[in-house]
């Protein structure tokens, strides 16, 4: 059905060859998505997704999390090359978003070919992407850093924190490069052939040590810490609205963010038109469910079977659609924070309320989904949202779109309707943001 609708949109588009189109790009944690929309109607013309499979082992073991940038660039090239040529010729704006917080370094003066395959981005020319999931910056290390001049705190996985860690532990890494940014900043530099990257205030705020009121980096603090200031990108340009799992609320004009000490688990990030977003950005989302699936797959392999992950996903979601009622009185509860949270980096996952009647696979899957929703509620609660006039939730993202039990878990946890957006792709959102400029 979706394919038929897509074909209709493409057929309709061909009758209006003079219409402007907008390309949206989302460089996500696990996949690249591209989306072309009609600038006037905002209807999706074509969208494609490709898994990057870019994760590489870290020398720090579980504390590190990095990705191989050439694979990300290759996935982007593949998606764009498969878009209709006639549509690409009419693209007038490009919007780019991607992983927040993460950091990649590269060398200036070496042309990076955005239209080339990944072997044209060579090792030594671009570093690995150190992602938002990287936990090399321990609480003790973070406590040793100067307090930022900002209403936003600094956590492991934030770009500036990662750079400061390298400065202290592997300074030779910084000597190899003279530019840095998020993965989307790198791609924009490639597309626009920029010698010096530009960075939106949203990305800059997600890196740490950026004052959103003055719109500037904490240069004096970072200079005293010894960070090479030429690594900090300028504070303008590309829109980014992306992370593993987040709840966000647009705040009214004139809102002034509170100090970091009063913000709790909520971050107040700069948005468009001088307004702020209240954001609860969790490290626990679809990755917790993926870890559960990987565990099940490992168990089947240890038992002598080989079950594809896709088959595991299909089965557990079907079972969780109507989990069998527990025979005992205890409710199975899963805290799925396998990676901790920024406000609780040492927290790990746990399971309670286990009895002989509630360990069915559908029940456990349902409990993991409820745990993901409960974790978000602990950061931005239903009561907090109600106090600010929120009466419904609008869902986006592939995890919610593909997972009925997870949608149900959020509806039950927040006791409010959950409406899925017509288009749930972050690439679509990037295209909409770019379309505002036409």
Which CA distances in Å does 79 have to 32, 259, 318?
Answer: 8, 42, 30
Which CA distances in Å does 44 have to 5, 49, 356, 419?
Answer: 10, 14, 49, 19
Cα-flanking dihedrals φ and ψ of residue 328, to 5°? -90, -170
DSSP summary character for residue 208: S
On the question of pLDDT at 273 being above 70, the answer is: yes
Residue 247: which H helix or E strand, with range?
Answer: strand 245-250
Q: Which pLDDT band holds residue 119 (cuts at 50, 70, 90)?
A: very low
What tens digit of pLDDT does each residue of 16-72 get? 456 789 999 999 998 999 999 998 888 998 999 999 999 999 888 888 899 999 999
What does the pLDDT read at residue 52?
Answer: 92
On the question of pLDDT at 245 being above 90, the answer is: no
Token readout for 435 is 């379309």
What does the pLDDT read at residue 426?
Answer: 73
Q: Which pLDDT band holds residue 162 (cuts at 50, 70, 90)?
A: very high
Cβ-Cβ contacts under 8 Å for 179 (sequence gap 6 or more): 105, 106, 107, 108, 189, 196, 197, 231, 233
Q: Out of 69-83, 262-276, 402-416, give the one with best mean pLDDT.
A: 69-83
Q: Which of 145, 148, 126, 127 is nearest to 137 (CA)?
A: 145
What does the pLDDT read at residue 291?
Answer: 92
On the question of pLDDT at 310 being above 60, the answer is: yes
Quote the strand ranges of 346-392, DSSP E. 350-352
Cβ-Cβ contacts under 8 Å for 157 (sequence gap 6 or more): 65, 101, 102, 130, 131, 132, 133, 134, 135, 137, 342
Lateral strand order in the sheet of 55-56 = 55-56, 66-67, 129-130
| Dist. CA 30–CA 32, nearest whole Å | 7
What does the pLDDT read at residue 256?
Answer: 87
Between the two ends of the chain, the Cα-to-Cα distance in Å is: 31
* Exposure of 308 in the CB half-sphere (CA atoms within 13 A): 3
Least confident of 5-14, 35-44, 343-352, 408-417: 5-14
Residue ranges and CATH numbers for the domains of the chain are 2-242 (3.30.420.40), 286-420 (3.30.420.40)
What does the pLDDT read at residue 130?
Answer: 95
Instruction: Identify the residue with better confidence: 374 or 8.
Output: 374
Collapsing DSSP to helix, strand or coil, 295 comes out as: helix
Cα-flanking dihedrals φ and ψ of residue 419, to 5°? -110, 125
236-258 per-residue burial string, b: 16 or more CB within 10 A, e: under 16: ebbbbbbbbbbbbbebeeeeebe
Q: How large is the average pLDDT for residues 339-368?
A: 91
Q: Which pLDDT band holds residue 76 (cuts at 50, 70, 90)?
A: very high
Which CA distances in Å does 9 have to 23, 145, 377?
Answer: 15, 53, 38
What tens digit of pLDDT does each residue of 256-269 get? 888 888 888 888 88
On the question of pLDDT at 423 being above 70, the answer is: no
User: 423 with 383: CB under 8 angstroms?
Assistant: no
Neighbours of 352 (CB within 10 A): 11
What tens digit of pLDDT does each residue of 193-202 get? 887 788 888 8
Token readout for 375 is 């974790």
What does the pLDDT read at residue 219?
Answer: 86
What does the pLDDT read at residue 48?
Answer: 93
What does the pLDDT read at residue 112?
Answer: 54
Q: Which pLDDT band holds residue 123 (cuts at 50, 70, 90)?
A: low
What does the pLDDT read at residue 61?
Answer: 85
User: 363 with 332: CB under 8 angstroms?
Assistant: yes
Residue 48: which H helix or E strand, with range?
Answer: strand 44-51
Mean pLDDT of the chain: 83
Q: What's the whole-model pTM score? A: 0.64
Instruction: Identify the residue with better confidence: 285 or 124.
Output: 285
User: 372 with 387: CB under 8 angstroms?
Assistant: no
């Amino acid at each position: 059905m979706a394919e038929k609708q897509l074909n209709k949109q493409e057929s309709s588009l061909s009758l209006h060859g003079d219409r402007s189109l907008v390309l949206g790009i989302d460089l996500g944690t696990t996949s690249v998505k591209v989306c072309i929309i009609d600038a006037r109607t905002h209807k999706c013309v074509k969208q494609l997704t490709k898994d990057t499979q870019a994760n590489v082992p870290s020398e720090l073991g579980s504390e590190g999390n990095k990705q191989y940038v050439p694979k990300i660039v290759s996935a982007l090239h593949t998606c764009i090359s498969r878009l209709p040529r006639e549509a690409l010729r009419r693209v007038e704006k490009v919007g780019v978003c991607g992983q927040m917080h993460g950091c990649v370094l590269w060398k200036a003066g070496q042309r990076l070919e955005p239209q080339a395959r990944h072997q044209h981005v060579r090792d030594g020319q671009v570093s690995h992407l150190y992602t938002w999931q990287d936990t090399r910056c321990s609480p003790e290390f973070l406590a040793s850093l100067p307090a930022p001049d900002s209403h936003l705190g600094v956590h492991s996985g934030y770009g500036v924190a990662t750079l400061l860690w390298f400065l202290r532990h592997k300074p030779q890494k910084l000597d190899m490069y003279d530019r840095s940014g998020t993965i989307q900043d790198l791609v924009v530099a490639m597309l626009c052939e920029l010698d010096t990257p530009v960075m939106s205030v949203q990305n800059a705020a997600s890196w740490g040590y950026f004052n959103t009121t003055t719109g500037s980096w904490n240069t004096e603090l970072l200079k005293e810490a010894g960070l090479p200031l030429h690594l900090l990108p300028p504070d303008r340009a590309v829109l980014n609205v992306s992370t593993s799992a987040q709840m966000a609320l647009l705040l009214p004009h004139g809102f002034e963010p509170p100090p970091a000490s009063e913000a709790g688990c909520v971050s107040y990030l700069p948005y468009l038109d001088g307004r702020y977003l209240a954001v609860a950005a969790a490290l626990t989302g679809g990755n917790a469910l993926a870890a559960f699936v990987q565990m099940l797959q490992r168990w089947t392999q240890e038992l002598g079977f080989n079950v594809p992950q896709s088959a595991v996903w299909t089965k557990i979601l079907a079972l969780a659609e109507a989990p069998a009622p527990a025979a005992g009185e205890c409710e199975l509860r899963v805290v799925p924070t396998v990676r901790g949270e920024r406000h609780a980096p040492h927290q790990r996952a746990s399971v309670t309320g286990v009895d002989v009647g509630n360990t069915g696979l559908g029940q456990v899957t349902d409990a993991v989904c409820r745990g993901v929703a409960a974790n978000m509620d602990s950061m931005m609660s239903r009561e907090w949202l109600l106090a600010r006039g929120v009466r419904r939730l609008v869902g986006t993202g592939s995890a919610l779109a593909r997972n009925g039990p997870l949608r149900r878990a959020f509806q039950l946890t927040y006791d409010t309707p959950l409406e899925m957006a017509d288009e749930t792709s972050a690439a679509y959102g990037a295209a909409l943001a770019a379309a505002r400029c036409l």
